[in-house]
Amino acid sequence: MKIKLLAGLAMSTMLFGCANTADLEAQVSALSNKVDTLNTQIGAMRADQDKMGADINAAKGAAMDAQQEAARANSRIDAMASDFRKK
Q: Mind listing the pLDDT tens digit for each residue in 22-32?
A: 777 888 899 99
Q: Tell me, what's the pLDDT at 4?
A: 75
Q: Is the dihedral of CA 17, 20, 26, 27 positive or negative?
A: negative
16 falls in which pLDDT band (50, 70, 90)? Answer: low
Please provide the DSSP assignment of 47-76 as one string.
HHHHHHHHHHHHHHHHHHHHHHHHHHHHHH
Domain that holds residue 43: 2-86
| Total number of domains in the chain | 1
∠ Cα 22 28 29 (to 5°): 90
The pTM assigned to this predicted structure is 0.53
18 falls in which pLDDT band (50, 70, 90)? Answer: low
Three-class secondary structure of residue 26 per DSSP: helix
